[in-house]
Amino acid sequence: MIVKKEWKKLGFINEPIAEGTDLKAAIRQMCQEKNAVIMAHYYTEGEVQDVADFVGDSLALAQKAAQTDAEIIVMCGVHFMGETNKILCPDKKVLVPDLNATCSLAESCPPAAFRQFVEAHPGHTVVSYVNTTAAVKALTDVVVTSGNARQIVESLPEDEPIIFGPDENLGNYINSITGRNMLLWKGACHVHEKFSLKKILALKKEHPNAKVLVHPECKGPVVKIADKVGSTAALLKFSIQDEATEFIVATESGILHEMQKAAPQKTFIPAPPDDSTCACNECNYMKLITMQKLYNCLKYEWPTIEVDSEVAEKAVKPINRMLEISAKLGL
Ligand code: 13P
Ligand code: SF4
């Protein structure tokens, strides 16, 4: 298959799709014909989540990738998620519908600078959040997600010096609940660091019975007022199982799609960002994944995710260590 220069320049395929095409049906049919599986993160557009074989948080997406026997994995999410899949399944074709779907948090940790940081602190175990590039994972001892960070850190000896990167807010939160004193890389997610404590408290006044759900990438003061802190999957589970009928949700607003679907009788209020002039609580990278790009990506089997083999060989070890610990702990 010839990859057009124009596509390479764009990072996605912009071929027009015949008018009247039922995108959902056409995508499902291609999956069957090509033995492809579509995985989607909760932050993608609702229609993308609805066409996927599996929707999950970053831990579940990695676990699924490690188990699939499909020949093609289409990762509807951001680039590091595609990389994780490719590292776990080097013989499979891994596609991400738009290569511009990066992650501000992963980008806040350039591999060369992180290497210097690690080298400046010898004797530390390096724990990295999954929201990192493959090159950073290659410098890591064990990868974590927001769904297992606490348990994995707690599985390390209490006196073990630890470097944690790249999310400073998540690192501070894990330090606070485990009593550890991990050395933190100062990275952040441009969506989660913007939630406004003041506006959430104002919303609480309007909805006194609402429970506040917070992703641990949010800043400390927002995390402190949460009724539940957790990964996207943990927040979703809580919102379904808890007796409350109203929730203020301080994470990327794509998760509301699944919450509303799972509990249509409940009310979910997206937490507002501090700056009303910005496009707010949406991850602009996740929202780059559209049905059109997904259709074209499956049709032409591009853009593929490639990871340098030397980097992949190193990066697979801390990812597998995470999967092994998680399996042992039943996570
Ligand atoms: P989860 O691991 O909770 O799915 O979060 C991923 C992410 O990118 C949060 O911004
Ligand atoms: Fe990355 Fe933030 Fe988007 Fe999550 S919400 S993928 S951390 S930029």
Q: Rounded to the nearest whole angstrom, what is the distance from the C-alpha of residue 217 to the centroid of ligand 1?
A: 8
Nearest-CA residue for atom 5 of ligand 2: 283
Q: Rounded to the nearest whole angstrom, what is the distance from the C-alpha of residue 18 to the centroid of ligand 1?
A: 35
pLDDT digits (tens, 9 = 90+) for 226-255: 999 999 999 999 999 999 999 999 999 999
Residue 277 has pLDDT above 70, yes or no: no
Q: How does residue 2 score in pLDDT terms, banded at 50, 70 and 90?
A: confident
Average pLDDT, the chain: 96
Q: Rounded to the nearest whole angstrom, what is the distance from the C-alpha of residue 215 to the centroid of ligand 1?
A: 8
The rounded distance, in Å, linking the Cα atoms of 84 and 94 is 10
The rounded distance, in Å, linking the Cα atoms of 20 and 18 is 6
Indicate the fold that domain 192-270 takes in CATH.
Rossmann fold (3.40.50)
Q: Domain 4-100+286-311 - what CATH class?
A: alpha beta
- Looking at the DSSP assignment, which residues form a beta bridge with residue 187? 167
Residue 279 has pLDDT above 60, yes or no: no
Mutation choice for ligand 1 from 195, 215, 236, 322, CB with most ligand atoms inside 8 A = 215
Phi, psi angle pair for 178, to nearest 5°: -110, -10
Mutation choice for ligand 2 from 78, 146, 284, CB with most ligand atoms inside 8 A = 78
Name the pairing type of β-strands 36-41 and 54-56. parallel
The rounded distance, in Å, linking the Cα atoms of 275 and 260 is 26
Kindly give the number of the ligand 1 atom that is closest to the alpha carbon of 230: 3
Identify the nearest ligand to the CA of 253 by its number. 2
Q: Rounded to the nearest whole angstrom, what is the distance from the C-alpha of residue 16 to the centroid of ligand 1?
A: 32
Q: How does residue 272 score in pLDDT terms, banded at 50, 70 and 90?
A: confident
Out of 3.40.50.10800, 3.20.20.140, 3.40.630.40, 3.40.50.720, the CATH code matching 105-188+317-329 is 3.40.50.10800
Domains 4-100+286-311 and 105-188+317-329 share a fold: yes
Question: Would the CB of 131 count as within 6 Å of ligand 1?
Answer: yes
Phi, psi angle pair for 58, to nearest 5°: -70, -30
Question: Would the CB of 170 count as within 6 Å of ligand 2?
Answer: no
Identify the nearest ligand to the CA of 167 by its number. 2
Residue 276 has pLDDT above 70, yes or no: no
Q: Give me the residue spans of the domains in the chain.
A: 4-100+286-311, 105-188+317-329, 192-270
Name the pairing type of β-strands 54-56 and 72-76. unpaired
The rounded distance, in Å, linking the Cα atoms of 263 and 249 is 14
Q: Kindly list the distances between the CA atom of residue 153 and the CA atoms of 114, 163, 241, in Å, as whole numbers in the listed order.
A: 20, 11, 27
pTM as predicted: 0.96
